Amino acid sequence: MNFFKSLFGIFLLAVLGVCNATGADLKPDELVRMTVDKIMYVVETDEDIVRGDIEKTLVFVEEQVAPHFDFPRMARLAVGRAWRQATPDQRNQIVQEFRTLLVRSYAAAFTRFKGIKIEVLPLRPSDKPEWALVESVIKLPTAVAQPISLNYDMELTEGQWKVFDLQIDGASLIVNNRNIFQKEIQSSGIEGLIETLKQKNRADSQSGAGKR
């Protein structure tokens, strides 16, 4: 899963980015296709980000990527049944810590895959107009590497298409985290999960503090 964790971050950035046409103005696959080239251009050419300026990368992610993800829903799905046992304050803490963890993961992986090619596939017809599975294929720069499938589960929420799960070669981000969270909850409860997320975020913040 280490490869999974490092890879999904950079490509989540290709979902939306900054685009004048938002919400339901474009189909999900059109929105992805329109912004992939722009995001990859930033990855290839921004000198500060190429040098590993984590603070600048975090600002970019917060401003242009994070608003397009349904973090409350992602956190709820990742916690699973135990979500019903959590108090409102515990739920808020889980959402915030999970959001911080994902955003920092995206930022940390931002510059690792220069030279890749992403092909966004045509959107398949669906009987659910407010839900879409946007499929894409990642082609790595080495000729011997097998292409990787990257699929986005998206839903039209209050006029905005938002991502609530992601699958790389069939591996779901939500399911992966749910397995981890359930083990933590079983051993230490909801508070134990919150503390583990906080510790992880503190460690990530300290390890990235010197990267400018």
Average pLDDT over residues 204-209: 73
**Neighbour tally for 122: CB within 10 Å:** 11
Whole-number average pLDDT of the chain: 83
Residue 42 has pLDDT above 80, yes or no: no
For residue 9, how many other CB atoms are within 10 A of its CB?
Answer: 22
Identify the pLDDT of residue 211: 56
At residue 149, the pLDDT reads 92
- E strand residue ranges, 158-203: 160-168, 171-172
What is the pLDDT, as a whole number, of residue 111?
64
For residue 3 the two structure tokens come to 């490869």
56-110 pLDDT per residue, tens: 888 888 887 788 789 999 999 999 999 999 999 999 999 999 999 999 987 877 6
Torsion angle in degrees (nearest 10) through CA of 199, 200, 205, 208: 140
- Among 19-33, 41-55, 86-100, 112-126, the minimum mean pLDDT is found in 19-33
% the chain with pLDDT above 70: 81
3-state SS assignment for residue 69: strand
pLDDT in tens, 2-31: 444 445 554 554 444 434 444 456 788 887
- Domain encompassing residue 63: 2-208
CA distance 66 to 99: 9
The answer to whether residue 209 scores a pLDDT higher than 70 is: no
Beta-carbon contacts of 16 under 8 Å, excluding residues fewer than 6 positions away, are 31, 32, 35, 64, 65, 68, 161
- Residue 15's pLDDT is 45
Task: Give the total number of structural domains in the chain.
Answer: 1
Residue ranges of E strands in the chain: 117-120, 131-139, 148-157, 160-168, 171-172
| DSSP tag of 153 | E
Separation CA 161–CA 130 (nearest Å): 8
Q: Quick: pLDDT tens for 143-190.
A: 677 888 989 999 998 888 888 999 989 999 999 999 999 999 999 999
Res 35: pLDDT? 64
- Cα–Cα distance between 118 and 194 in angstroms, integer? 35
Q: Can you read off the two tokens belonging to residue 190?
A: 């909801």
Specify the DSSP class assigned to residue 83: G
pLDDT of residue 26: 76
pLDDT at 95: 98
Residue 19: give its domain's CATH number: 3.10.450.710
